[in-house]
Each structure stands twice: as C-alpha cells, then as structure tokens.
Structure 1
Amino acid sequence: MRIVIIGASGNVGTALLGRLRETRSGDELVGLVRRPPDPVGEYRGVDWHALDVSDQDAVGELGRHFTDADTVVNLAWGFQPTREVDYLERVGVGGTAAVLEAAQSAGVGHLVHISSVGTYAPGRHGEHVDEDWARTGVPSSAYSRHKAAAEKLIDEHERHHGADAVPVARVRPGFVVQRAAASGLTRYGLPAYLPAHLMPRLPLLPLDRDLCLPLIHAEDVADALVRVIDQGATGPFNLATDPPFTRNDLAEVLGAWSVHVPLPLLGAIVGLTWRARLQPVDRGWLDLAYSVPLLDCGRARDELGWTPSWAPREAMADLLDGIAHLAHTGSAPLRRRSVPDLVRRDLTEGLISSRRFP
C-alpha cells in the first residue's frame, strides 16, 4: 500500500511510523510535514516532503502527493501559537478542508482523520460517553472548537458527496502521552526559562481535586490507527485507557503532595499569567481538562479488536521519565528542549505563544 501521513513527525505520527514498520514493512510511506526530519532513526524509510496545510495552494500540493495513495492519515494540527488563534484555525480547520478536497479529487481509497476527545461537548465530565455524544466542543478552548469544526466539515463532505465520498475514519483519542514526546510537550507547555527536567521533582501539586482525564499512550493510538488502516474501517472511534487518570494519580506518579486549588482560582491564575506572557498555555486548555467526558471505547474494542496495552499511570510515568531525562527525537516538533535556545528565540523571534514555529 501507499500510505500518505500528514504530520508524520509529531507525537502520534512518530509512534505510527514505528508501528507501521513493525506490522506493515512492505508499505510505501510518504510523510508531509512543515519541516522534514533527516530520514534516520525513527524517521527512516519515509519519503519526506515539506508542506504546510495552511498555505493557499495546499489543495494542489496535497493532491499531487495523494495520487495513487491507498490511505491518507491526517495528523496535522497546531497547539501553538495560542495568541494566533486565526492561524491555528487555518491549520486545523482549513487544513482539514484542504485534505478532504484533495483526497476526494485524487480518488483516495481511505482517509483517516485524527480528531480528539476535545470535539465533544461539556456536560459529562467524569462520565463515559460513546461516539454519539454531542460534538460541539468546549467554547473557551480554541483547540476544542477547531476539533469540533473539523468534524463538521467531514459531516458536510459526506452529505454533499453521498455514496461517492472518500471513506473516512475519525479517531478520537484522549490526551496522548509518550516518552519520546517529552521535549515537544514541555516546549509547548512550559515557559522557556523553566528547566523541564525539574518538573518531575515538584514537591507540591496544586490542582483542583476533580481532575479526571481520559489518557492514552501514543503507542496505543498508533496500534488503533494501524488496525483502522488494515481493516479499511470508517466512522468514529473513541480511544482511551481505563481507569481514568486523576489528580491523585498524578501526585502519586510524581511523588508530590497534592494541594486542592479550586478551579475558579486556578483558572484565574492561568489566565493572568498567560495574559502577562509569563507562560504559554491559555485558560482554554485548563477548561478543556476539567470539561471533557471520559470515553467509552467499546466500538474500537468490538470492531477493531483493539485493547490498550498501557495503563494510565504507566503512560504518565513514561512521559515523566522522558521529561526527567530530556527525551527527544530528531524531528522539529519533538527535538530536544534547550532553555538557552528557547530564551534566545523568545527574545529574537517572539514568545512561543506568538510564533508559528515553536
């Protein structure tokens, strides 16, 4: 098969490449990313091309690479800059529209779209929902709004083209973690001046006690994606690991003392420090964490034969071990996090929450 992966060098993409090499070594893999990595290590055996799905000519460029593709996997998304919401929308929502148009025109046999628990409406925090739960997103979270908007585009595309529409699978994972993504995730979420390796040594964990997250390891997401590709599966699939991950679980993994900070106060602190440009994460991410439901993954289990291999605490421990040891890969999104380099770039190119290349 010829498999084209958009966003193949990020968190999920890196895990997917590894899983494809393990299970489908004869496939032709094409990677489309903004900054192609060197084809070594995790990124070997891939035909890499530079492409930004937010560009005006993205449809034509995508179509050229989609020719003769059996499957297209769309993993492209932006998490920063949080201060340029219009750009993030062009990447996530506009990019999805471009992929749909190009895939339809090229006659792609199967499109796999990475969605998120963030596509779901609030109202069932701490309770499990299946794939039929309302998909309107969390209003205060740009990430969540855009995930919901991207799925609406798929709905409209399928209604418009009917039986002739490219078959689409929508994969909706919870919060995705892995050791290899440690540097990338901390680059997005921590201030440049804070050494990331100190995070796992926090003596106190000041969070609202009601935190309850659907968590999943990237390797388990990759396994589900390969099963979707193998079976040509379509429709939505929730992906998460039970039991849910709580504040107390995080405190235990960190070896920290948990301190209850009510969500309104915590939200005010996050919002104030973001507006003061002291840290790069806006309040929408906190609202998302305390609003999303848990995920009923019965459909993935029954139709794909999928079961996660990582328990939630094990998955978080894997990420924290990566943070403590500055784990990274050779791709631009997951490269090593360097405090001197980040501070230099903050001073010369603007804060990570404002620039388009973290």
Structure 2
Amino acid sequence: MRIVITGASGNVGTALLRRLESEGGRHELVGVCRRPPPDSPPYRTASWVALDLAEPGVDVALRPVLRGADAVVHLAWGFQPSHDVAYLDRLGVEGTRAVVDTAQDEGVPHLVHMSSVGAYSPGPDPGAPGGPRVTEEWPTGGIDSLAYSIEKVAAERLLDEHERRHPDGTAVARMRPGLIVQRDAGSALLRYGMPAYLPAAMLRHVPLLPLDRDFVVPLVHADDVADAVARALERRATGAFNLAADPPVTRELVADVLGARPVHLPRTVLRTAVDLAWRLRLQPLDAGWIDLAFAVPLLDTRRARTELGWSPTIDARTALAEVLTGMADAAATASPALRPRSVAAELSALARRGPIVKRPLP
C-alpha cells in the first residue's frame, strides 16, 4: 500500500514507522510533518513532505500528497503552545478537516484517525480503579476546560459529518487510546510537561508523590498503538477502537514505580497550583489537564481484541516504568519532535524563542 502518515515524526508516528518497517518494505510510506527528520532509522523508511496543517491553504498543498494513496493515517496534533489556543484549533480541527476533505476529494479509500480517551465524556465512576469500563458507544462530549479535549471532540464531529455526507466515500477508523507512552518519547513528554529549568534526572529522586488518591488513568505503549493502527490498515477496519493496557495507572502505581511515598493532595489544591503556575508561565501544563486526568473513563478494549485481533504486548506498569526511565535519561530520537531535552538547551530556547506555551514549534 501507499500510506500517507501525518505527524509521522512524533510519538505514535515513530512507533508506526518501526511497525511498518518490520514488514520488510511492503509499503510505500510518506511522512508529513512540520520538521522532517534526518535519514536515520526508522525515519529513512519514508519519504517526507514538510507541511504545517495549521497553515492557510493546506488543503491545496495536501492534494498531490494524498493523490494515489491507499490509506491515510492522521496522527498530527498539537499540545503546545497552550497559550495560543487559536493555533491549536487550526492544527487539530481545521487540519483534520483538510485531511478528511482532501482524502475524500482524492478518492483515498481508507483513513485511520488518532482520536483519544480525551474525546470521551467523564467516566461513569471516576476514581474507581476496578470500576466500570466504557465501550466505544460512550458519549464523546469531552470536557470543556481543556483545548485538547475540545479539539478531539470537534474532530470526532467532523468525522461524523463526513460519514453522513459520504456513506460510500473514504472509510474511517478512529483509534481512542489512553495515555500513549514509550521510552523514546521521554524528552518530548518532559518538554511538554515540565518547566525548562528542572533537570530530567530529578525524576530519579522523588521522595513524595503529592496527588489525589482518586487518580486513575488508562495507559498504553506506543508500540501497541502502532500495532493496532497497522491491523486496522490491513483489515480496512472502520469505526472506533479503544486501546489500553492493564492495570489502570493509579497514584499508588506511579509512586511505586518512582520509589516515592504517595501523599494525598486534593485535586482542587493541585489544580489551583497548576493553574497559577501556568498563568505565570512557570510551567507548560494548563489546569485543564488536571481536570481531564480525573474525568477520563477506563476503557473496554474488547472491540479491538475481537475485530482487529489486537492485544497489548506491554502491560501498563512496564510501559510506565519505561517512559519514566526514559524521561530521567532524557531519551530521544533523531526526530526534531522527539529530540533530546537538556536544561541548557531548554533555557537557550526560552531565551531565543520564548516559553514553550507561546511558540508553535516546541
């Protein structure tokens, strides 16, 4: 197949290139991203197109890229700059609209869209690790305090409208994973979530974990997400698929992996502190991420297991330990999106380009 992958240099894109590369060059891969990576594994398996999906006229630029494709995997998304929601909307919502409309216009048979657990409405029993898990029929209303969730919901509505207008057009599969992690994303995740002046190695010396005891989120390894995408491509699957590994990640599990002692900190106190620090540009995460962490449902993955023959090969505890070690080691790849993080480099970028919460290329 000729497969076009937007956001192919990022967390999931890197894992997907590894997965497709393992098939021995059966596919022609085209990567679309803002900053193409160098000619090194796994990125050398694809040809690259430099394109920002938030730019005006991107639908025109996409036409020759998608022409003749057998499938499009739409991974491109933005988490920063969190203080420039208009840019994030153009990338996540209008960029998705451009990909979907152009795929339809160019007759691309299949689209796999990376949605998220963040598209779901709050769970039936937040804070219950052994509580009910939602199927793909759970409402996708998101939460209204986080741009990421609002945009994921808007993208789902775009896909709904596409399917209503073009029942025999480009077929759509929607992946709805929990938090996606891998070692190679350690630097990138720290860049998105930790102040520039804090060294990564401090994660090896966390004595206390102040977090609400009700914290629980679904998590899945990037390699397993990539495997689900590859299976969906092979089967030309349609519909939504939840992706998560067991066990659900609780406060106690995070503390155990860190070697820290968990301490109950009410979410309202944590949210207030995060919100204040974000408004003062002291750290890059806005308070909506705290709201999301305590609202997301746990996921029933039976549909992916049944229809895709998928099951996670890496349990959530192992995946969590891998990414936390990767963060502490400043793990990275040759991709600009997953480049190594260091305090010196982050402070230099801060001085030259401003805080990450305001710049479109983190």
Q: Bin the TM-score by the shorter chain.
A: over 0.9
2:151 equivalent among 146, 153, 165: 146
* 1:277 to partner: Cα distance: 1.2
> Partner amino acid for 1:83?
H
* 1:348 to partner: Cα distance: 2.3
SS in 2 for 1:269: helix
Conserved in 2, the CA contact under 8 Å of 1:39 and 1:46? no
Residue of structure 1 in register with 2:166 after alignment: 161
1:205 aligns with 2:209: yes
Of 254-263 and 322-331, more deviation after overlay is shown by 322-331
Conserved in 1, the CA contact under 8 Å of 2:213 and 2:265? yes
Question: Deviating runs (4+, > 6 A) in structure 1?
Answer: none
Counterpart CA distance in 2 for 1:41 and 1:191 is 30
1:219 equivalent among 223, 229, 238: 223
> Partner amino acid for 1:47?
S
Instruction: For residues 88-145 of structure 1, give each alpha carbon's deviation from its aligned partner in whole angstroms, at most 9, with x where no partner exists.
Output: 0110011110001110011001100000000000142243100000111111111011
Residue of structure 2 in register with 1:29 after alignment: 29
SS in 2 for 1:170: strand
- Tell me the matched-pair count: 357
Q: Which runs of 5+ in 1 are unaligned?
A: none
Counterpart CA distance in 1 for 2:323 and 2:49 is 29
SS in 1 for 2:97: helix
Residue of structure 2 in register with 1:130 after alignment: 135
Residue of structure 2 in register with 1:121 after alignment: 121
Instruction: For residues 228-259 of structure 1, give each alpha carbon's deviation from its aligned partner in whole angstroms, at most 9, with x where no partner exists.
Output: 01111011000001221100000000000111
TM-score (norm 1): 0.98
Of 204-213 and 124-133, more deviation after overlay is shown by 124-133
Q: Which runs of 5+ in 2 are unaligned?
A: none
Residue of structure 2 in register with 1:319 after alignment: 323
What's the C-alpha RMSD, in Å, of the aligned pairs? 0.9
Counterpart CA distance in 2 for 1:210 and 1:13 is 32
* 1:23 to partner: Cα distance: 2.5
* 1:347 to partner: Cα distance: 2.0
> Partner amino acid for 2:150?
R
SS in 1 for 2:197: coil
In the TM superposition, 1:268-279 aligns within 5 A as 268-279=272-283
Instruction: For residues 154-174 of structure 1, give each alpha carbon's deviation from its aligned partner in whole angstroms, at most 9, with x where no partner exists.
Output: 1011111222x2100000000
Counterpart CA distance in 2 for 1:228 and 1:11 is 19
2:293 equivalent among 278, 285, 289: 289
Residue of structure 2 in register with 1:347 after alignment: 351
TM-score (norm 2): 0.97
Q: Percent identity?
A: 54
Residue of structure 1 in register with 2:333 after alignment: 329
> Partner amino acid for 2:164?
R
1:255 equivalent among 252, 259, 265: 259
> Partner amino acid for 2:139?
A
1:64 aligns with 2:64: yes
Conserved in 1, the CA contact under 8 Å of 2:21 and 2:42? no
Residue of structure 2 in register with 1:97 after alignment: 97
